[in-house]
A and B are shown apart, each in its own frame.
Chain A
Amino acid sequence: MAHSTTDNDRGLKSYLTGFALALILTAIPFALVAVNPLPKLPTLIVIGVAAVIQVLVHLRYFLHLDLTSTPRENLLAIVFTAILIFLMVGGSFWIMLDLNHRMSM
């Protein structure tokens, strides 16, 4: 069972790496909001960037997505979903911000 042992070791390493990265990427934005050393806009940008990286960390180390071993259909589905989300969320913001602008809000 040497094969499955090394597989398991690799799996354990993947979860622990993901956990450590996720912990760091959670601590940074929470610490920034708690201590508040930066102006508002840079803080929001750091929160956003840390969130995007953390989502990628979760996909890579917890859901084990990667470009070689994950079935092609699954990757196509996630790309299609990303396009739908971009259209629907982006479209909503476009319409609502434009509406606010025209209503002088």
Chain B
Amino acid sequence: MTADAFVAAGGPNADEPAMPDVYAQRAFGFWLYLMSDAIIFSLLFATYAVMARNNAGGPTGHTLFSLPNAFGETLLLLLSSITFGFATLAMKSGERARMLSWLLVTFVLGLAFVGLEIREFHGLVQAGAGPDRSGFLSAFFTLVGTHGLHVSFGLIWILIMASQVMVKGLTAPVTSRCLRLGLFWHFLDIVWVGIFSVVYLPGIL
């Protein structure tokens, strides 16, 4: 789908391109962004795996990580993924009120996830296990913190889309933005699967 082909498809009305084509291109562009984000996370995972045993005589994951806390965070994010899916389905069938309530549920679940993570980070720093304690903890805070930051931006994006749905309704641009937000949100859940499998479970074991 090159720019030339795109203009050609528009024909004489090239300045008023066929709308579905524009949304397909935007979805593809957003997909490329997600792929570059996947590379960032992969390299943070690699950094963590290399640093995991460099605890500089400080605390290890075995004493720092809490299995119930990690499990709670996992459930919250997985639930928020499926509630976002329900919001998408409601959007596709044009039920605005139902979509908004599922978006609200997703927002609350995501907020609870970020809350648990902030509480965990706060507890670690209080216990003298901040990012400056060892290479292991630097890598841990960088990886998990980057994911938490993504989720926080996702929460802001959910609020923006909810207000657009309320003000503008389910127009074509709003719908396509919501679909891209869905890609982002589901992508973050995939990254979290990596985090609990690489960081928390092996750390606690």
Contacts and interface: CB of A to CB of B under 8 A. Distances in A.
Interface of A: 4-5, 7-8, 11-12, 15-16, 18-19, 22-23, 26, 29-30, 33-34, 36, 40, 43-44, 47-48, 50-51, 54-55, 58-59, 62-63, 71, 73-74, 77-78, 80-81, 84-85, 88-89, 92-93, 96
Q: Which 10 residue pairs spanning A and B have beta carbons closest together?
A: A51-B197, A15-B85, A81-B35, A62-B186, A85-B42, A89-B46, A92-B46, A19-B82, A96-B50, A58-B190
A73 B70 CA distance: 36
B38 A88 contact: no
A93 B50 contact: yes
Given A71-B28, A81-B35, A62 B85 contact: yes
Interface of B: 1, 24, 28, 31-32, 35-36, 38-39, 42-43, 45-47, 49-50, 67, 70-71, 74-75, 78, 81-82, 85-86, 88-89, 92-93, 183, 186-187, 189-190, 193-194, 196-198, 201-202, 204-205
Contacts of A59: 190
A48 B49 CA distance: 13
